[in-house]
Amino acid sequence: NFVLTQPHSVSESPGKTVTISCTRSSGSIADNYVQWYQQRPAGVPTMVIYENNERPSGVPDRFSGSIDSSSNSASLTISGLTTEDEADYYCQSYDNSIPWVFGGGTKLTVL
Amino acid sequence: VQLVESGGDVVQPGRRLRLTCQASGFRITTSPMHWVRQAPGKGLEWVSLILRDGNNRNSADSVKGRFSIVRDIARNTLFLQMNSLRIDDTALYYCARDGAGGSLDLWGQGTLVTVSS
């Protein structure tokens, strides 16, 4: 079993760029795809990145994803921040022992 | 294309409840299907999965032996049978469709289960 660890919160100003990390505790981050979900207050989670760095249709290209094997982590980067980006963000991956694992979530504040 | 959950309620510890997820716009046999829950003010927790063949299923350790995921192909509906409910099962329960790369590409709006004496 592995755990995905995210920072509890991050904040940045409108127009700036923010990066949220997601570190895998055991096994390689490259072994299985990582996804990212956005959940606005009182909203339903929606996928913003899948397969490490792919954007679903309708998600602006301000959102990008990557993985880094050296730190065994994945990252979600949001550029040109707006107040609409204020939300909780969750990373998610999987393996054979526990099929689906979510990170604890990161609260993004745009102020 | 949507998922609509129902069946959430307030129940006492030890009781049972069945959640329903009605799919429309696609067939639930074409994708693995999941249940995910979110306790009040907490993060997302994966609960259970049923693969396309309907025979292979898996659940989180926290619900194993108490919850079971089933489906009705004719009604294009997914269920979560929840037995021996505990106070810490209180959560908003979402059903979700498995998409590319193990992603969850379609979510319902959720149904609230409250376990309280």
Tokens representing A7 are 């920072």
The pLDDT tens digits for B69-106 are 999 999 999 999 999 999 999 999 999 999 988 899 99
Tokens representing B25 are 């716009």
* CB pair distance less than 8 Å for A37 and B44: yes
The pLDDT tens digits for B28-83 are 999 999 999 999 999 999 999 999 998 899 999 999 999 999 999 999 999 999 99
Tokens representing B36 are 């995910």
Give the separation between CA B79 and CA B35, rounded to whole angstroms.
Answer: 9
pLDDT of residue A1: 81
A contacts of B103 (beta carbons < 8 Å): 33, 35, 47, 50-51, 92
**Which position has the higher pLDDT, A98 or A53?**
A53
Give the separation between CA B18 and CA B113, rounded to whole angstroms.
Answer: 10
Contact A25/A6 with Cβ under 8 angstroms?
Answer: no
Tokens 């956005």 found at: A38
Mean pLDDT in chain A? Answer: 95
Which chain A residue's Cα is nearest to B45?
A102
Q: What angle do CA A3, A8, A10 make, to 5 degrees?
A: 130
The pLDDT tens digits for A63-104 are 999 999 999 999 999 999 999 999 999 999 988 766 789 999
Tokens representing B47 are 């609960």
